[in-house]
Amino acid sequence: MSETACKTCAFFEIKAAKTDAKGECRFNPPVFLTEEEHKGMWPVVQSDDWCGHFEQDAA
């Protein structure tokens, strides 16, 4: 049975997270929070979050 959650999504990047409960969503390119930052970041999501772009991880 599959679970609709970021932790089972093809776009969830757990390696970049500090804990198993969080990861980065790689569905979109990094985003700039402000123009002054000049550093893009991926959104950090909880492993049990999900969104309408969910795609089951093949692994």
For ligand SF4, the binding residues (CB under 6 A) are 6, 9, 11-12, 25, 27, 45, 49-51, 53-54
38: left (phi over 0), alpha (psi -120 to 50) or beta: left
41: Cβ–Cβ under 8 A, 6 or more apart, which residues? 30, 31, 32, 33
Nearest distance from residue 36's CB to ligand SF4, in Å? 26
Q: Which is nearer to ligand SF4, 17 or 27 (CB)?
A: 27
Q: Name the residue type at position 19.
A: T
Give me 5's structure tokens: 């959650």
Q: Which is nearer to ligand SF4, 17 or 49 (CB)?
A: 49
Nearest distance from residue 32's CB to ligand SF4, in Å? 18
